Structure 1
Amino acid sequence: MATPTPLPDTIQRNIGVDGFGGELLSMFLAAFLIGNIMLAMTGVAGPWAKRKITAAFTDRIAVNRVGPFGLLIIVADAVRLLSKELIVPEGADRPAFDLAPIVLAGSAMLAFAVIPMGNGIQLADPETGLVFVFAIASIASLGLLMGGYASNNKYSLMGGLRAVAQNIAYEIPLVVTAASVVLFTGSLQLSEIVAIQQNTTLANVAGIRIPAWFAFVNPFAFVLFVVANLAEVGRNPFDTPEAPTEIVGGYQTEYSSVYFVLFYLGEFLHIFLGGAIIATLFLGGPAGPFLPGFVWFVIKIWAVFLFTQWCRSAVPRVRIDQLIEIGWKGMLVLSFANLVLTAAILGVTGL
């Protein structure tokens, strides 16, 4: 299967501008397009879809007064939040306070640059794409800690420390589980990981070809990765960094106006990024019958989003000590066991 042409190259070829200026313009246009697609999905997910899904799970009525199906609540919330006064706590570390929400949202946006979304919709395809995604996404922990520390609020500081402890405890199992996929593919290049899942067949049932998605090939690794991802994006039962019943709102307690919007935006961007990584590593990326690849990619990341919201509504939060214990004594051990078992099976079978 031929490697698709990256989106900037396609745009440059179509606009007919050569040289460095053409490359720069095409990269800007491609990044602008993908960035706005992700922001649009986040804008729908945060103010509207989250409320509708939670209401459906908890047998309540969600937003339904502003516009058809309540969709104009997206505009209403944007105007309401952006028009509020930005209040900065006395004694706050202003540079860190200002940068924290930008770091959180920016890390997710940057990580989308190497995700293959189908039909050549990919900004770049480096050979170390998987490492790049994890490295950039992990910067979010720094943003959460900065926000908690800079707020000059003990509840916020506690939330920031919880976020770092949680991310360290679950990011290692996340990376180790992803390494088991790399053992199958022999590559860190995300387009190659997707291509291998599309080119191989797990089985043929009644004439229907079942692709060798790694969720089918190694379901144990898939479950481990999904659980660790819940902790990374801070969804139940792992939402302790912002637990309202314990620490008010955690690292974002003192944030308002546009800064709160950026924190909220960053949270949902990371949920979609987690869904994009799961789709790429375990669900064949943009692969799927009949519909265009990009449509399938969007369906898969929205399915992961739906799962995270179900967990938020149905699964009780664990205590911080339980969370750390599950991460270090449970997930870490299981992820290494999965890696060793995968290596042993591949060595015996010679795959």
Structure 2
Amino acid sequence: MTLLPQKIADVIGIDSVFVDIFAAIIGAGLVGTLILIQSALAGPWAKRKITAAFTDRISVNKFGPLGVGIIIPDAVRLISKELIVPEGVDRPAWDIAPIILASSALLGFAVIPMGSLGPVNFQLADPEVGLVFVFAVASIASIALVMAGYASNNKYSFLGGLRAVAQNLAYEIPLIVVGISVVLFSGSLRTSEIVAAQQETLFELGPLAIPSWFAILNPFAFFLFLVANMAEVGRNPFDIPEAPTEIVAGHQTEYSSVYFVLLYLGEFVHIFLGGAIVATVFLGGPAGPVLPGLVWFLIKIWAMFLLTQWLRSAVPRVRIDQLIEIGWKGLLVLAFFNLFLTAGLVGVFAA
């Protein structure tokens, strides 16, 4: 498998360290642009259309086909607003937090196998500890939420930051424990090998071949991972760090203009990263019939985005004490039970 930077370097045809660096930058720019386009569609447009459909209302429909042109005036409106800096903020941390939130989620896509489109394979790197890398960079987002909450000099923002810490501690551990059960199945932390382990046919139903996706092999682990991932990306019923009806907007209360855009963008990029992790670990990555792998990958992450918006419209927010109790007393126990059960099954079949 040729990674995207290697493909670009081969096209240039010059063997040089500087060419390799240039190719890596170009590849990262292509992948980043692709993800940012998805987030731009999701935030100003798809979120409104999906929520309107669930609540039987009319959403944006005047500017461009199906109202998709609303992205342009929304971006201009938000970026052109005055950047208001409240008194008493911890300026360095307050400035850096939005950048960390947006960039940390983008960084996670570096090792995600997004599939191919023609001769081009959209994967930047494939380290041996790829899955660990994804979990590590995804968790950086919680640091950004804490920085934003603490530095804003606002009690609602501070509460949002504290809630973010409590929520991520309660749900990142079950998320990783469930991820370990997948590693037991695949025998590797390398994301490409996790995807490759799901390519075999599990069984056939006439002309239909059922793939050996881990979501099919272990639906219990898939469900646990979905719940923990929903809390990780901070969507309903787990949007506790911002909770508009309780603490105004939590960590983002004091942000405006381009800083608010970065926070808003980071939120949706993080949702798509969560969908990418779910697709890679449980849904065969970019695998699928007929269509190119990249198309299937995008379909799967958009399906996860649709799930977040469905829950946002259908499920009420839980209280902070309920959220912590669900994580520590429920999800963590079930995650370890799933790990021991998976280890036992793998041991039996390996023997």
TM-score (norm 2): 0.98
Partner of 2:330: 330
Q: Quick check: 1:35 aligned with 2:32?
A: yes
Q: Quick check: 1:125 aligned with 2:122?
A: no
Letter in 2 for 1:205: L
Partner of 2:195: 194
State how far apart, in whole Å, the 1-side matches of 2:90 and 2:230 are: 30
What number of residue pairs does the alignment pair up?
A: 347
* Mapping for residues 122-271 of structure 1, pairs under 5 Å: 122-198=123-199, 200-271=200-271
Q: Can you list the C-alpha shifts for 1:222-250, whole angstroms capped at 9, x where unaligned? A: 00000111101111111111111100000
State how far apart, in whole Å, the 1-side matches of 2:249 and 2:307 are: 23
Q: Quick check: 1:93 aligned with 2:90?
A: yes
After TM superposition, give the deviation of residue 14 of structure 1 in Å.
0.8
Secondary structure at the aligned position of 2:197 is classed as helix
Instruction: Give the gaps of 5 or more residues in structure 1.
Output: none
Q: Quick check: 1:299 aligned with 2:299?
A: yes
Secondary structure at the aligned position of 1:202 is classed as strand
After TM superposition, give the deviation of residue 66 of structure 1 in Å.
2.1
State how far apart, in whole Å, the 1-side matches of 2:290 and 2:207 are: 17
Q: Can you list the C-alpha shifts for 1:172-225, whole angstroms capped at 9, x where unaligned? A: 000000100000011000000001101x22111113221100000000000000
State how far apart, in whole Å, the 1-side matches of 2:33 and 2:108 are: 14
State how far apart, in whole Å, the 2-side matches of 1:114 and 1:164 are: 26
State how far apart, in whole Å, the 2-side matches of 1:284 and 1:348 are: 24
State how far apart, in whole Å, the 1-side matches of 2:25 and 2:299 are: 26
Secondary structure at the aligned position of 1:43 is classed as helix
Partner of 1:347: 347
Partner of 2:43: 46
After TM superposition, give the deviation of residue 100 of structure 1 in Å.
0.3
After TM superposition, give the deviation of residue 65 of structure 1 in Å.
2.1
State how far apart, in whole Å, the 2-side matches of 1:218 and 1:201 are: 15
Q: Can you list the C-alpha shifts for 1:263-321, whole angstroms capped at 9, x where unaligned? A: 00000000000000000000000000000000000000000000000000000000000
Letter in 2 for 1:243: A
State how far apart, in whole Å, the 1-side matches of 2:60 and 2:279 are: 30
Secondary structure at the aligned position of 1:241 is classed as coil
Secondary structure at the aligned position of 1:273 is classed as helix
State how far apart, in whole Å, the 2-side matches of 1:58 and 1:30 are: 40
Instruction: Give the gaps of 5 or more residues in structure 2.
Output: none
After TM superposition, give the deviation of residue 349 of structure 1 in Å.
2.3
Q: Can you list the C-alpha shifts for 1:140-196, whole angstroms capped at 9, x where unaligned? A: 000000000000000000001101110110000000001000000110000000011
Q: Can you list the C-alpha shifts for 1:82-118, whole angstroms capped at 9, x where unaligned? A: 0000001100000000000001001001110000011
Secondary structure at the aligned position of 2:113 is classed as coil
Secondary structure at the aligned position of 2:198 is classed as helix
Partner of 1:113: 110
Secondary structure at the aligned position of 1:86 is classed as coil
Secondary structure at the aligned position of 1:204 is classed as strand
State how far apart, in whole Å, the 2-side matches of 1:68 and 1:209 are: 37
State how far apart, in whole Å, the 2-side matches of 1:184 and 1:269 are: 28
State how far apart, in whole Å, the 2-side matches of 1:241 and 1:25 are: 39
State how far apart, in whole Å, the 2-side matches of 1:68 and 1:303 are: 22
Partner of 2:22: 25
Secondary structure at the aligned position of 1:288 is classed as coil
Partner of 1:58: 55
Letter in 2 for 1:57: F
Letter in 2 for 1:350: A
* Mapping for residues 278-317 of structure 1, pairs under 5 Å: 278-317=278-317
Q: Can you list the C-alpha shifts for 1:47-93, whole angstroms capped at 9, x where unaligned? A: 00000000000101111122221111100110000000000110000
Secondary structure at the aligned position of 2:210 is classed as strand
State how far apart, in whole Å, the 2-side matches of 1:283 and 1:269 are: 19
User: What percent of counterpart residues are identical?
Assistant: 70
Partner of 2:67: 70
After TM superposition, give the deviation of residue 15 of structure 1 in Å.
1.6
State how far apart, in whole Å, the 2-side matches of 1:337 and 1:278 are: 20
